[in-house]
Amino acid sequence: MSQDLMVMLEQAFEESTKLYKERGFQRRVGFGKRPALVSVDLANAWTRPGNPFTCDQEKMDNEIIPGMQKLLKAFRAANLPVIHVTTAYEITDRNASFTDMGLWHNKIPIDVVNLADKELWAIDSRIAPIEGEYTLLKKRASSFHGTELAGILRANGVDTILVTGVTACACVRQTICDGIADGFRPIAVKECIGDRVPGAVAWNLFDIDAKFGDVESVDRCVDYLNTIGQSRS
């Protein structure tokens, strides 16, 4: 993101913060007692170059993936739930009389993420699931919409979701919005959220922090996870 754009955003955030605080926004939802990691669309079509969905590669390689590796290490050490979310479609012919793409293909090129090409929707090998972790296949932006996610979380006693992934303006944001609507405490992990569009991450994290969940750093989240792990040992 250019320095000029960052300066403009910071000015907008400063003005918006004044308004929000005057009106009682930007409250804290806080960490709960049992968290799960919900990692959204950190699959090859988004994390690797050469796809219409490819996100900012510099941030992906130098910030998101290393941050995810730290989080995964902490979650695994504490034996806490990890859900890897990805997106793919079985019927990608836009002229078909019936398709699992719904109407979304009329806005964005979801038809390129074909279920038959597992490499596209497979979770990035640098943060690949291990035994005991769950991979959830979704069809819409939110990880909750039309999926088993809420039921799985409740059945496992989860009250807090640490949300990572892409994109900030769509699937991550919608997952966080639906998460708090379904009664979970959403924590957006700052360094582990990306997008394709300059400025989209900064703006959406600011707005999420004001209205839908708390934005916390990787280090703060790891400290929280370590504390839970120690209390259970």
Residue 109: which pLDDT band, with cuts at 50, 70 and 90?
very high
Backbone angles phi, psi at 194, to 5 degrees: -135, -175
Report CA Rg, the chain.
18
Residue 9: which pLDDT band, with cuts at 50, 70 and 90?
confident
Residue 50: which pLDDT band, with cuts at 50, 70 and 90?
very high
CATH 3.40.50.850 fits 32-232, yes or no: yes
Residues identified as active-site: 171
Instruction: Report the alpha-carbon distance of residue 115 to residue 181 in Å, rounded.
Output: 29
To which residue do tokens 């926004």 refer? 25
Determine the average pLDDT of the residues in 19-28. 91
Q: pLDDT per residue over 168-219, tens digit each? A: 999 999 999 999 999 999 999 999 999 999 889 999 999 999 999 999 999 9
What pLDDT does 1 receive? 64
Q: pLDDT per residue over 25-48, tens digit each? A: 999 999 999 999 999 999 999 999
Instruction: Check pLDDT > 70 for residue 233.
Output: no
The domain segmentation of the chain, as residue ranges, is: 32-232
Q: In sequence order, what DSSP letters do the residues of 51-120 get, joined into one string?
A: STT---HHHIIIIIHHHHHHHHHHHHHTT--EEEEEE-BS---TT-SS-TTTTGGGTS-GGGSBTT-HHH
Identify which of 203, 194, 142, 233 has the alpha carbon closest to the alpha carbon of residue 12: 203
The helix (run of H) or strand (run of E) holding residue 22 is: helix 3-22
Say what the pTM is.
Answer: 0.95
Residue 78: which pLDDT band, with cuts at 50, 70 and 90?
very high
